[in-house]
Amino acid sequence: MEIGDKVKLEDPLMDTLIGKIIDKEISRCKCSKSKWVIDFNGETQKISVGSKKLSLYEEGQKITR
């Protein structure tokens, strides 16, 4: 994944969200992971790089809720 990619966040406790990666926060120490900064329609969230809840989104995909 790269900055500018459309992504899908799937969490069994929430709705599926579609957003765009706008930045990457790189961890300064080895004790924590770097995070993607993702814009979900004006609301930003930070998701750990490598999170299994996050995947690339392609137009035409069905969204399960």
pLDDT digits (tens, 9 = 90+) for 10-51: 888 878 899 999 999 988 887 778 999 999 999 999 999 988
Q: Which residue has the higher pLDDT, 29 or 64?
A: 29
Q: Which residue has the higher pLDDT, 21 or 61?
A: 21
| Cα 56 to Cα 29, 31, 37, distances in angstroms | 27, 26, 14
Question: What confidence category does residue 64 fall into, taking pLDDT thresholds of 50, 70 and 90?
Answer: low
Q: Which residue has the higher pLDDT, 40 or 64?
A: 40
β-bridge partners, 20: 6, 39
Instruction: Supply the pTM of this predicted model.
Output: 0.79
CA–CA distance, 65 with 43 (Å, rounded to integer): 19
